[in-house]
Amino acid sequence: MNFDSSSPDWRAELENALRRNTIEIPAPPGKPVSGPCRVPKRLITEDGDIINEYNTVKFCGIMKGGHVWAYLLHSGRLPSPGEYVIHGCDRKCCCNSAHVRSGTPKENHTEAVQRGLIDPQAGKGGLRPQVHGQRNPYAKTTNAVMAVAKWLHKNPHLWFTSEISAHHSLLEAIGILLNLTVPALKQMTRRESWRSLEASPPQCLPTVAQIPPDAQPPAPKKNGKIGPDNAALMLKGYWESEDRPRYIREWATRLKVSIISVQKVLCGESWPEIEPQIAREKNFASHRPNSLSERDVQTIRATFKANPNVRALKAALARKFGCEPSHVQQLILGLARRDVPDDDSAIISLDQLVFKPSAQRGEAHKLAVLSPDQVWQIHTRRAAGESANDLALEFRISLTRVYNILKGKAWREIWERFQQQRGNGDKPGEGKP
C-alpha cells in the first residue's frame, strides 16, 4: 500500500495522529537511535515505568500499530507481507519515525539475541525453552510421577472407592498419594502441561489406608514476588479503578511479574485469605453475588424495578453494594439467588446512590474527529443522494462511522433534529445543526 507523496496533507495528519496523547521521553542509553522516544501517555504508570507493549493508532479509518504508521511516515509506504518493522530503541510502544526501519523476521530475532532481550536457546517468543517433561527447568516433579498421575486420573474405577470419595475428590486423592498440588493436576487434566507424556500404571493400586480422611494435598506455593502487602494494596485499588485492564498492567510492570500472576490475586487463586479482610474494611461481605445478604439482594431488585429507565442505575447499585454490574444484572434477571423472595419495601432512594458523570458527547468527546457542521452535511448530502462511501472518503472517516451517524448511533442529537426537520416537510439542508 503506497501513499501519494505529492500530497502534503496526509503526512501532516499522520504526524498529528501519532503525536496525539503521547509524550517524549529519553531513548534508552546505548541504543543506535537519535532523538527521544514518543510513548503514549496511557502506557506510563504513576511511578514512571513504561508498559512495553504495542500501541494502536487509527488513521483514515484504519487501525494499525503505531510503529507501522511511523514506518509509513519514514519511508512513504507500508511494510509488505513478510516484512517486519524493527525498533532501534527496543520499545514496542515507541512511534517515533526516526526509530523504526524494515527488516526480516530473522534480522529481528538476531538483534534481539545480540541485545540480550531473549534467551538464544528460547523457543517461540523467547518466553521459555521448548523442553518438555522433567528436563524443563520449570518442572517440579518427574516424568514417572506424572505418568502415574495420568493413569490414576484415567482409571478411577479401579481404585477410587466410596470410602475415599466420601472425604476427598479425585484430584485431592491423587495429590495426597503423589504429593502433588491440585492446581498442577488440573493443568495436567486440561492438557496445559505434560501433554506428550504417556500414562503408566503404578506398581500396586492405592488403598484406603494410604489416603486418610484427614489428609490434605500440599498447598500451592504462593507468589513470593507479590507478597501479602502488595496483594492487599492490589485488591483495594482494583475495585476503585476506572480502567481495570490498565490497572492490571501497571501492577505487573511495577512488580515485574506476569499479568496472569496479578489476575490470580484478583480472582482469589493466590492469597485467598486477603479478600475477606479487604471486604471487611470496605464494609461489604464480598465481591460476588452469592455472598450478598438477603436484604441487599431484595434492595437491588426492588430499586431497579421501581426505576427501570434510570441511566447507569446498575453501575450505581454495584458501586453501592460492592459488586460488579454483571452481578447486579444476574440478580435482576433471576440468574442468581433465586431462593431470595422479592420485597418491594426494600427500595432505597436514588439520593443514596453515587452516579458518576456520563462521558462527554459530541465535539467535546476526546475521540471526536468531526464538528456538528460536518455531521449535518453528512445527513443532508446523504439525503440528497450522495453515496456513503464518497462521504467517508471526503471526511476521512470509516464507512462504519458514516452509517452510525446516519442511523443515529453516533451524534444522536443532530440525527433527531434532522429527522424532526424532515418530518415537518422541510427540505434537506435548510435547518442548522
Concatenate the DSSP letters of all residues of 336-396 into one string. S-TTSPP-GGG---GGGS-PPPPPP-GGGSTT--S-HHHHHHHHHHHHTT--HHHHHHHHT
Predicted confidence (pLDDT) at residue 115 exceeds the cutoff of 70: yes
pLDDT-based confidence at 221, cuts 50/70/90? low
Supply the DSSP symbol for 293: -
Kindly state the cell numbers that stand for 287: 465481591
At 151-165, the pLDDT tens digits run: 999 999 899 888 888
Neighbouring residues of 18: CB distance < 8 A, sequence distance ≥ 6: 38, 57, 66, 69, 70, 73, 95, 97
Count Cβ neighbours within 10 Å for each residue of 169-206 and write b for 16 or more, e otherwise.
Answer: eebbbbbbbbebbbbbbeebbeeebbeebeeeeeeeeb
pLDDT-based confidence at 147, cuts 50/70/90? very high
Phi, psi of 120 (to 5 degrees): -60, -20
- Work out whether the CA dihedral 89, 90, 91, 95 comes out positive or negative: positive
* pLDDT of 148: 93
Predicted confidence (pLDDT) at residue 285 exceeds the cutoff of 50: no
CA distances from 207 to 162, 174, 236, 274 (A): 12, 12, 46, 37
Higher pLDDT, 8 or 94: 94
At 331-365, the pLDDT tens digits run: 888 877 888 888 988 899 888 887 766 556 777 77
At 362-377, the pLDDT tens digits run: 777 767 888 899 999 9
In angstroms, the CA 347 to CA 302 distance is 5
Q: Where are the alpha helices (DSSP H) in 79-137?
A: 105-114
Contact assessment for residue 194 and residue 156, using Cβ atoms and an 8 Å cutoff: no
* pLDDT of 122: 55
pLDDT-based confidence at 433, cuts 50/70/90? very low
- Work out whether the CA dihedral 241, 244, 250, 253 comes out positive or negative: positive
Secondary structure E strands in 203-243: none
- In the predicted model, what is the mean pLDDT of residues 248-274? 78
Give the count of alpha carbons within 13 A of 43, CB side only: 22
pLDDT-based confidence at 431, cuts 50/70/90? very low
Kindly state the cell numbers that stand for 7: 500530497
Kindly state the cell numbers that stand for 267: 480472582
